[in-house]
Amino acid sequence: MTEQLEICILAAGIGSRMQSDKPKVLQTLGGRPLLAYLLDVADEMKAAAIHVVIGQGADAVKAAFPHRRDINWVLQAERLGTGHAMQQVASSLADSGRVLVMLGDCPLIRTSTLQSLVAVDADLSVLTVDMSDPFGYGRIVRDGEQVQQIVEERDTDDRQKTIREINTGVMAADIKGIRQWLTLLDNDNAQEEYLLTDIVAHANDAGCGVRAHKAVDAIEVTGINTFTQLAGLERGLQMNIVEELMNNGVQVMDPARLDVRGSIKTGRGVRLDINVILEGDVTLGDNVDIGPNCIIRDSTIGDGTVVRANSIVEEASVSNECIIGPFARLRPGAELADEVHIGNFVEVKKSKIGLRSKANHLAYLGDAIIGQDVNVGAGTITCNYDGAFKHETNIGDGAFIGTNASLVAPVSIGAGSTIGAGSTITKDVDSQVLAVGRSKQVTVKNWQRPIKRN
Ligand code: UD1
Ligand code: CA
pTM of the model: 0.89
Pocket test for ligand 1, best of 82, 137, 160, 220 (most atoms within 8 A of CB): 82
Q: From 1.10.3720.10, 1.10.275.10, 3.40.190.10, 2.160.10.10, which CATH number describes the 238-435 domain?
A: 2.160.10.10
CA distance linking residue 433 with residue 413, whole number of Å: 10
The residue whose CA has the least distance to atom 36 of ligand 1 is 82
Which amino acid, 397?
Answer: D
Gap between the Cα atoms of 143 and 320, Å rounded = 65
State the chain's mean pLDDT as an integer.
96
255-to-236, 252, 264, 274, 281 alpha-carbon distances in Å: 11, 6, 16, 8, 20
59 CB contacts (<8 Å, ≥6 apart)?
Answer: none
Nearest CA to ligand 1 atom 34: 13
Residues of the chain whose pLDDT is less than 70?
1-2
Q: How far apart are CA 82 and CA 16, in angstroms?
A: 15
**Nearest ligand to the CA atom of 137:** 1
Query: What 3 state SS string does 207-226 have?
Result: CCCEEEEECCCCHHHCCCCC
- In tens, the pLDDT along 50-71 reads 999 999 899 999 999 999 999 9
Ligand 1 residue neighbourhood (C-beta within 6 Å): 10-13, 24, 53, 76, 79-82, 84-85, 103-106, 137-138, 150, 152, 166-169, 195-197, 223, 225
pLDDT at 2 (0 to 100):
67
**Exposure class string for 71-90: b at 16+ Cβ within 10 A, else e:** bebbebeebbbbbbbbbbbb
Q: Whose CA is nearest to atom 19 of ligand 1?
A: 81
Query: Which residues 6+ apart lie within 8 Å of 332 measured at CB?
Result: 314, 315, 316, 349, 350
* Secondary structure letter of residue 327 according to DSSP: S
Active site residues: 361
Which ligand has its closest atom nearest to the C-alpha of 230? 2
Q: 167 has which bridge partners?
A: 128
Q: What are phi and psi of 336, to 5 degrees?
A: -110, 130
Closest CA to 304 of 357, 268, 332, 353: 268
Half-sphere exposure (Cβ direction) of 267: Cα atoms closer than 13 Å: 15
CATH 2.160.10.10 segments of the chain: 238-435
What is the pLDDT, as a whole number, of residue 1?
A: 47
Cβ-contact 373, 338 below 8 angstroms: no
From first CA to last CA, the distance across the chain in angstroms is 105
From CA 172, how far away is CA 115, in angstroms rounded? 10
Rounded Cα–Cα distance for residues 369 and 399 (Å)? 12
Architecture of domain 5-221: Alpha-Beta Complex (3.90)
Q: pLDDT tens digits, residue range 411-450?
A: 999 999 999 999 999 999 999 999 999 999 999 999 999 9
Q: What are the residue ranges of CATH 3.90.550.10 in the chain?
A: 5-221
Considering all CA atoms of the chain, what is the largest pairwise distance in Å, rounded to the nearest integer?
Answer: 111
